[in-house]
Chains A and B, each alone.
Chain A
Amino acid sequence: MIEFLQQLINGLSQGAIYALIALGYTMVFGVLRFINFAHGDIYMLGAFAGFYTAPKLLSLTGGGPSYGGAALVLVAAMALCAAAGVIIERLCYRPLRAQPRLTVLIAAIGVSLFLENGGQFFFGADPQAFPEIIADSAIELPASWGEFASLTLTIGQLIVIGSTIVLLAALRTIVKYTRTGMAMRALSLNPLAASLMGVNTDAVISFTFAIGSALAGAAGILTSIQQPSIDPLMGINAGLKAFVAAVLGGIGNIPGAALGGVIIGVLEALVVGYINPTYRDPLVFAVLILVLLFKPSGLLGKAEREKV
């Protein structure tokens, strides 16, 4: 029982990361109807942004690991990733917007390869030790909890889950209650009609990329708190898993992406803990195939009829 609960906690903290990355896939798909395959590499850029800025930012807040310093690193990485996302969209995707969707998709794969190999060139292919921005340790649970007191919950896990919830709430507020959010929703329903109503399409798309990339950057930092070893290829696997999460939840659907991420994370932890770790990746991708076969719209997505 305790072991099972522990696996749920493990899965939840990993799933939170997938959820954050999955949001970027789903938001871009929502407005542009294409899969930004370079998104996983933005997550990698986030981790490296933290790697390079952390020593400076931590020295502003007294040098050692601290919550204030960690928050600064998180914000810096999110800002840098948002900028990267906007630049990539401006340079690589916008000129192709009039082209068939397949062209943009292939361009995205190109950007992804460029970031991975450019990363190996500039950052080095060796795994780097991510600086300790928060003193991670297990939280002492009160003895009055009986056998549940033997559960292990680390500060890192709490921060990951907590930050994810805060970021999700913020995103929901933006999409639901701001003018830009309304423009995003309008664009996802009908881009032409939205632009006829005076929506500045380019600005809204840039904003979407900025938000999605910032969330991926946050995921990069939150992962590195728990797993302080980063390398330029770390985005490949995480990106694919998050993509599966987005499809599972219903691509284009924001709560769906978050739900999909958590489900994939928990599923992975249970497979590794109880069945066999080598089945972890095959199972995740089997989920993708099953969803596409039986419920292509995903768990929370609405079935959409293709307009002819």
Chain B
Amino acid sequence: MIFPALFFGAWISEVNAGPIRVGEFASLTGASASFGQSSHKGTKLAVEEINAAGGVLGRPIELITEDDQSQAGQPATIVRKLISQDKVIAILGEVASSKSLEAAPICQQNKIPMISPASTNPKVTEVGDCIFRVCFIDPFQGTVMSKFARENGWKKIAVLTDVKQDYSVGLAEFFIKDFLANGGQIVREQKYSTGDKDFKPQLTSIKASQPDAVFVPGYYAEVSLIAKQAKLLGLKVPLLGGDGWVGDSLLKVAGKSLDGSFFSSHFSSDDASLMVRNFVEKFKAKYGEVPDDMAALGYDSAMILADAIRTAGTTDSGPLRQAIASTASHAGVTGKITLDPQRNASKSAVILTIGDGGFHFVKKVEP
């Protein structure tokens, strides 16, 4: 009996000395590939920095990434694979709320902590005490834009919602609630579905209601076409939106038609703070492009996990979960991150405007 025991002991110490395996799932291809590619680049950069600085607990982090192809059903499959085959100690992902909601129950069942970089729908962290996020949630984002609209003196707002996305419906709901409660007027509510291409009927109806601005809390693929068609129909008011606007193809399709519009987001590469400047430099050096929100959030999610492993002093799920939950004032590139008892990040939002083919910082809004 001595031999097997020795052998087993040696095997265990071998595992402990090896890299710490962290799973990541993202939409690297498919309709929301823009989101997945960005968050993955940010996450990878963070892991490389951590490893260059000697890793955590003296061990390097090994990032195992799987692509969910932007398809419903895939996140569940690949997260199961990451947990059971790759034996990861934690999961990072996803950007889209509907994908995170698929993976979350599986992580919760297996008691593997999951940190979503950018899913803003409130339901995501309600799944259980192992699910965290490093971004703010929809009620905050909707309210921020409502406040911004009121500050600009816009009294009559039309809302155009994507009824197929929890994200869009949630944002619209909280925007309308806050706007009405503060004496504003919602002059028209119109809807569309993900994948639609012709928005002229909705926009014609919105134009007839003569709004001061239009709130379009959708994703970039549709928003770009909406903006283009709104301009053609002579709807000259600014469009307002949320972080779903951030995508590679937004300005490629929309061209100049989004100039003068505003959206709330997590991060601005214009931010003058040293931390952000450093991050932007390193990101540019590695990928030859300016990081967007999803990249910044991906970076922060990996950094928070690494900090928590250091604090816990182990990769065991109980203490690790505790350590993530007690994250307070973590200095991230997307702001100071404190996780509240509901495991959501309490942090500032930024408002950006579009012009000259790029995004520009307007202001920071504190929670």
B200 contacts A278, C-beta separation under 8 Å: no
Distance between A130 CB and nearest chain B CB, rounded to angstroms = 8
Quick check: is B31 within 8 A (CB to CB) of the other chain? yes
Quick check: is A171 within 8 A (CB to CB) of the other chain? no
Chain B residues positioned under 8 Å from A14 (CB to CB): 198, 200
Quick check: is A71 within 8 A (CB to CB) of the other chain? no
A229 contacts B224, C-beta separation under 8 Å: yes
A-B contact count (CB 8 A): 93
B232 contacts A273, C-beta separation under 8 Å: no
Chain B residues positioned under 8 Å from A6 (CB to CB): 204, 208, 233
Interface string of B229-267 (1 = CB under 8 A from A): 100111000000000000001001101000000000000
Quick check: is A286 within 8 A (CB to CB) of the other chain? no
Determine which of B69, B190, B198, B249 lies in contact with A127 in the assembled complex, contact meaning CB atoms within 8 Å. Answer: B249
Measured in the bound complex, the distance between the Cα atoms of B86 and A177 in whole Å is 70
Determine which of B193, B201, B253 lies in contact with A278 in the assembled complex, contact meaning CB atoms within 8 Å. Answer: B193
Quick check: is A103 within 8 A (CB to CB) of the other chain? no
Which residues in window 264-280 of A have CB below 8 A to B? 268-270, 272-274, 276-278
Quick check: is A69 within 8 A (CB to CB) of the other chain? no
Chain A residues positioned under 8 Å from B197 (CB to CB): 223, 227, 229, 234
Quick check: is B202 within 8 A (CB to CB) of the other chain? yes
B234 contacts A226, C-beta separation under 8 Å: no
Quick check: is A228 within 8 A (CB to CB) of the other chain? yes
Chain B residues positioned under 8 Å from A136 (CB to CB): 232
Quick check: is B158 within 8 A (CB to CB) of the other chain? no
Measured in the bound complex, the distance between the Cα atoms of B194 and A237 in whole Å is 12
Determine which of A126, A156, A274 lies in contact with B33 in the assembled complex, contact meaning CB atoms within 8 Å. Answer: A126
Interface string of A201-229 (1 = CB under 8 A from B): 00000000000000000000001001111
Q: Interface of chain B, helix or strand or loop or mixed? A: helix
B208 contacts A3, C-beta separation under 8 Å: yes
Measured in the bound complex, the distance between the Cα atoms of B231 and A138 in whole Å is 9
B232 contacts A10, C-beta separation under 8 Å: no
Chain B residues positioned under 8 Å from A13 (CB to CB): 200
Known: A127-B221, A229-B224. A277 touches B198 (CB 8 A): no
Nearest neighbor of B221 in chain A, beta-carbon distance:
A127
Distance between A219 CB and nearest chain B CB, rounded to angstroms = 13
Chain A residues positioned under 8 Å from B234 (CB to CB): 138, 152
Quick check: is A11 within 8 A (CB to CB) of the other chain? yes
A126 contacts B34, C-beta separation under 8 Å: yes
Distance between A116 CB and nearest chain B CB, rounded to angstroms = 13
Quick check: is B174 within 8 A (CB to CB) of the other chain? no
Quick check: is B205 within 8 A (CB to CB) of the other chain? yes
Nearest neighbor of A127 in chain B, beta-carbon distance:
B221
Measured in the bound complex, the distance between the Cα atoms of B233 and A136 in whole Å is 11
Quick check: is B163 within 8 A (CB to CB) of the other chain? yes
Quick check: is B228 within 8 A (CB to CB) of the other chain? yes
Interface string of B31-72 (1 = CB under 8 A from A): 101100000000000000000000000000000000001100
Distance between A166 CB and nearest chain B CB, rounded to angstroms = 22
Measured in the bound complex, the distance between the Cα atoms of B196 and A237 in whole Å is 9
A273 contacts B202, C-beta separation under 8 Å: yes
Chain A residues positioned under 8 Å from B193 (CB to CB): 277-278
Chain B residues positioned under 8 Å from A2 (CB to CB): 208
Nearest neighbor of B228 in chain A, beta-carbon distance:
A228
Measured in the bound complex, the distance between the Cα atoms of B221 and A270 in whole Å is 24
Quick check: is B225 within 8 A (CB to CB) of the other chain? yes
Nearest neighbor of A272 in chain B, beta-carbon distance:
B201
Known: A129-B253, A227-B225. A273 touches B70 (CB 8 A): no
Nearest neighbor of B195 in chain A, beta-carbon distance:
A237
Among B34, B192, B204, the most chain A Cβ lie within 10 Å of the Cβ of B204
A273 contacts B204, C-beta separation under 8 Å: yes
Chain A residues positioned under 8 Å from B30 (CB to CB): 125-126
Quick check: is A137 within 8 A (CB to CB) of the other chain? yes
Measured in the bound complex, the distance between the Cα atoms of B16 and A62 in whole Å is 65
Chain A residues positioned under 8 Å from B31 (CB to CB): 125-127, 231
Quick check: is A154 within 8 A (CB to CB) of the other chain? yes
A3 contacts B205, C-beta separation under 8 Å: yes
Determine which of B29, B192, B201 lies in contact with A268 in the assembled complex, contact meaning CB atoms within 8 Å. Answer: B201
Among A7, A127, A128, A132, the most chain B Cβ lie within 10 Å of the Cβ of A127
16 of the cross-chain contacts (CB-CB < 8 Å) are A3-B204, A3-B208, A6-B208, A10-B198, A10-B201, A124-B29, A125-B31, A125-B69, A137-B232, A138-B233, A152-B234, A154-B232, A227-B225, A231-B31, A277-B190, A277-B201
5 cross-chain pairs, A with B, having the tightest CB-CB distances, nearest first: A272-B201, A10-B200, A227-B197, A129-B252, A3-B208
Give A residues with C-beta under 8 Å from B: 2-3, 6-7, 10-11, 13-14, 124-129, 132, 136-138, 152, 154, 156, 223, 226-229, 231, 234, 237, 268-270, 272-274, 276-278
Besides A136-B232, A152-B233, A278-B191, 5 other CB < 8 A contacts?
A125-B69, A126-B29, A227-B197, A229-B249, A229-B253
